[in-house]
Amino acid sequence: MTKKDFIPSSYIVHKTEGKVTYRSPSNIALVKYWGKKENQIPANPSISFTLDSCATTTTLSYRKLKVRGTDFSFDLLFEGKPKPDFKPKIKTFFERTEPYLPFLKDYHFTIETSNTFPHSSGIASSASGMSALALCLMELERELANDMDPSHFANKASFLARLGSGSASRSTEGPIMQWGQHKDTPESSDLFAIKYPYQVHEVFHNFQDTILLVDQGTKQVSSTLGHNLMHNHPYAEQRFDQAHKNLTNLQLVFKEGNLSEFIKIVESEALTLHAMMMTSMPYFILMKPNTLAIINKIWAFREASKTHVCFTLDAGANVHLLYPENEKEKIKQFIKNELVAYCENGQYICDQIGTGAKKL
Ligand code: PMV
């Protein structure tokens, strides 16, 4: 497929106004996307668990303009209030997606959005937010076209979400999403994410993700800046190569349910992401003392309890604890006894792998 496949030929239905709502979850990458080429094309393939509770709900109301606008016309409400600082990101999203959604300047839009997780928690809302908005726009396009093949709908929703934020391409569906061309996954594409197409052992069903909120106030390195740090990075090529290999190795891990190998890949990916930031110019350390304390606690507990809890990190200080559902009680106790003390205001969020966005 090429991006031309996402340019619609013509619409047959006339819609003057309407409203659509989607709830889209966030996702947590196992093999990380870090580094991109022009037009939001990833420098390496990535794979993620779609989450369930951490989500954005977006309602898109649309009203046809009497005369097609010269610019995009939209209002943005976040948690019921106007949020001007979110508007530039949406405008950029409209600019990037207009070639594929030629109706954008024909309507005035009101975008009402809210998150289930606290805004300042350090959980990025771009993946869930851009995915929810892309799905709302696809719903409008489906109405204008009268009908649409479900696989085209799914691919194009992910394609549009990607143009908003790369990781958003992996939030439109679930439970495991893969984005970026990978030789051992012939269906994979740089343009959109696909549902992981191979066998997944039942130990990964209902996998748990508890997000420990270590440092909620700290500003993360913006992902635009972060991805750019991979240009001319001394270890970039080796890193991209490693991501390909880790994805290949994960295929067997998923098939066999090999949790020890899963842990090695996932923790190494998290530390590599941070190593890339520490070795770029300029350099950053996004982990906090409590992030490291938690990692050491996890290692000690895993060794002593023979459980399969592991960690992963985003571009920030929060720690995602991943573990199989059948170890939930033991791990919850461990979190309460040993990890809550390292969370800011004792806060953490219990989530698990989910099936993807839903129309409400
Ligand atoms: O989607 P972006 O551009 O915000 O990049 C996200 C990058 C990471 O969250 C650090 C990794 C990933 O694959 O989600």
Residue 169 sits in the same domain as residue 218 = no
Residue 278 sits in the same domain as residue 192 = no
Higher pLDDT, 227 or 123: 227
The residue to mutate among 30, 192, 223, having the most atoms of ligand 1 within 8 angstroms of its beta carbon, is 223
Q: Which two tokens mark 311?
A: 């960690």
Contact 129, 93 (CB under 8 A): no
Q: Does pTM top 0.95 for this prediction?
A: yes
Domain count, the chain: 2
Domain membership of residue 99 (yes or no) is: yes
Pocket residues for ligand 1 (CB within 6 Å)?
Answer: 29, 32-34, 46, 124, 126, 165-167, 223, 273, 314-315
Render the burial of 305-325: b for 16+ CB within 10 Å, e for the rest.
Answer: eebbbbbbbbbbbbbbbbbbb
The alpha carbon of 315 and the centre of ligand 1 are apart by a number of angstroms equal to 7
HSE at residue 52, side-chain half, CA atoms within 13 A, is 14
The alpha carbon of 223 and the centre of ligand 1 are apart by a number of angstroms equal to 7
Q: At residue 145, does pLDDT exceed 90?
A: yes
How many whole angstroms separate alpha carbon 99 and alpha carbon 108?
Answer: 18
Lowest mean pLDDT among 32-41, 58-67, 123-132: 123-132
Q: What is the DSSP letter of 118?
A: -
Q: What is the DSSP letter of 79?
A: T
The alpha carbon of 67 and the centre of ligand 1 are apart by a number of angstroms equal to 38
Length of the chain as a residue count = 360
The alpha carbon of 104 and the centre of ligand 1 are apart by a number of angstroms equal to 27
Domain membership of residue 176 (yes or no) is: yes
Contact 15, 6 (CB under 8 A): no
pLDDT digits (tens, 9 = 90+) for 268-280: 999 999 999 999 9
356: exposed, middle or buried (Cβ count in 10 Å: 0-12, 13-18, 19+): buried
Residue 231 sits in the same domain as residue 138 = no
How many whole angstroms separate alpha carbon 270 and alpha carbon 252?
Answer: 20
CATH at 158: 3.30.230.10
Q: Which domain holds residue 284?
A: 207-352
Which of 274, 278, 281 has its CA nearest to residue 317? 274
Domain membership of residue 117 (yes or no) is: yes
Q: Which residue minimizes the CA distance to atom 4 of ligand 1?
A: 223
Domain membership of residue 283 (yes or no) is: yes
Q: At residue 218, does pLDDT exceed 70?
A: no
Residue 168 sits in the same domain as residue 212 = no
CATH at 298: 3.30.70.890
Domain membership of residue 360 (yes or no) is: no
Residue 216 sits in the same domain as residue 134 = no
Domain membership of residue 359 (yes or no) is: no
Residue 334 sits in the same domain as residue 288 = yes
Residue 190 sits in the same domain as residue 273 = no
